[in-house]
Structures are given as C-alpha cells and as structure tokens.
C-alpha cells in the first residue's frame, strides 16, 4: 500500500479519516490495483460506488471484505508511461470504488517509465482506470488531489487518460483533453499546455 499525503486523512485514499461503519479506501503502488471493496455492490451506482477498500466495523476494527483477494494486486501491465520531459510527471488515478478523487499517485521521473494500473473485468463492476495528467514538475502531493482555478493541477489538469482490458485480452486505452480544462468557466481554456502527450502501441499490428 501507499501512504497518501496529498490530503489529511491519515494516509487513506479519501478526504476524511477512516471511521467506524464505513469503507476506507487505500492506494496501491504504481501498476497495482486495490483488491478490496463491498462484494454486495456489483454495479456503478451511488452510494454503493463509494464502498471501496477495507470495512471499519462498529468496534473500529478493520475487516477484509473479500477474504480471497489480496489487498493489492498487479494490473494487466499492458500500458505504461514513458516520460520524455525534463521533469517528473504526476499521473493521478481516481479512487473507484470511492469518491473518484485523483488521489492514487504514479510519479514518472524524467527520462523514465512506469506501468499504469490496467484493470481487467475482474476489477470492481468491470470498471476502467482513469488518470489525470499533470504538467511536468508538479509533484504528486500538489497534483494528486482536487485542485482549483489557481493552477492547472489535479482535476484541472489539461489531459486525462483511461485504460482497461476485456475478457478477450484486448486492452482499450484513451488519452484526451480534460473536459473541465476546456469549460467556458475555466481560466485555462485559451492557454495551450506546455507539454503534449501521445499514445504509441508497442506492436502496431495490434492497433
């Protein structure tokens, strides 16, 4: 697991401390996925979509809701980031099941690569992974949380990405503009980002 320090929640991947009677989300290392959630929630619908992580019972004890699953497990390993910028780039994955804040950090140092966590259909409700891509030089502490119009960080980042794998072993990945960055109310909508992104397949015959 990874200690989340971008928000004051005792290391949990959520906006508040873990409390009795609630599910408590956590983050895993880059390339790995959270393996615990409410097993009774099988579709993406509120409020069940908030029930990720470990369950804190009425006695304040943490319970593992899916005993056969590890706390974290390796994603499919079919998508990675190759950072060609001169500074680090923070990829911030949203917490789902959870409140979908971009708290799960993958820091990619300059001239290096990191795997992204690509889920298969065994992940919660068959959902994909979603990432916000911060400008070079922004730390995960600055970029992997709800942002503001002061800077194009966090949910105001210029670009987003997503990925998942189907039952046939096909990986679906996307990159694009963050819709919030382009909203009429956004102070950044007329500002070109200082960096770009592109998607490249290792084997072009598989496109």
> For 56-60, which contacts have Cβ atoms below 8 Å and span 24 or more sequence positions?
56/18, 56/19, 56/20, 56/21, 56/22, 56/23, 56/24, 57/20, 57/21, 58/20, 58/21, 59/20, 60/20
pLDDT grade, residue 191 (50/70/90)?
very high
Given this model, what pLDDT does residue 54 score?
Answer: 99
Give the pLDDT mean for 109-121. 98
Given this model, what pLDDT does residue 204 score?
Answer: 61
Domains and CATH numbers, the chain: 75-200 (2.60.110)
Would you say residue 173 has pLDDT above 90? Answer: yes
Phi, psi of 73 (to 5 degrees): -140, 155
What is the distance in angstroms between the CA of the first residue and the CA of the last residue of the chain?
A: 33
pTM of the model: 0.95
pLDDT in tens, 22-57: 999 999 999 999 999 999 999 999 999 999 999 999
Beta bridge partners, 93, equal 104, 131
What's the half-sphere exposure (Cβ side, CA atoms, 13 Å) at 119?
22
Given this model, what pLDDT does residue 41 score?
Answer: 98
Q: Both tokens of residue 78?
A: 């079919």
Would you say residue 205 has pLDDT above 60? Answer: no
pLDDT in tens, 64-105: 999 999 999 999 999 999 999 999 999 999 999 999 999 999
Would you say residue 203 has pLDDT above 80? Answer: no
């Amino acid at each position: 697991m990874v200690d989340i320090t971008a928000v004051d929640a005792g290391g949990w991947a959520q906006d508040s401390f873990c409390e009795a009677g609630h599910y408590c989300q956590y983050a895993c290392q880059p390339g790995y996925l959270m393996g615990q959630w409410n097993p009774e929630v099988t579709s993406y619908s509120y409020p069940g979509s908030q029930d990720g992580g470990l369950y804190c019972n009425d006695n304040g004890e943490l319970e593992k809701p899916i005993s056969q699953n590890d706390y974290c497990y390796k994603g499919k390993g079919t998508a990675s980031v190759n950072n060609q910028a001169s500074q680090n780039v923070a990829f911030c994955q949203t917490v789902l099941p959870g409140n979908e804040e971009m708290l799960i950090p993958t820091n990619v140092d300059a001239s290096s690569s990191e795997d992204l966590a690509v889920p298969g259909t065994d992940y919660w409700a068959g959902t994909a992974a979603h990432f916000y891509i911060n400008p070079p030089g922004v730390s995960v502490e600055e970029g992997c949380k709800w942002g503001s119009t002061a800077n194009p960080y966090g949910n105001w980042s210029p670009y987003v990405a997503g990925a998942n794998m189907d039952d046939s072993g096909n990986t679906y990945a996307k990159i694009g503009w963050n819709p919030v960055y382009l909203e009429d109310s956004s102070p950044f909508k007329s500002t070109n980002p200082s960096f770009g992104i592109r998607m490249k397949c290792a084997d072009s015959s598989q496109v």
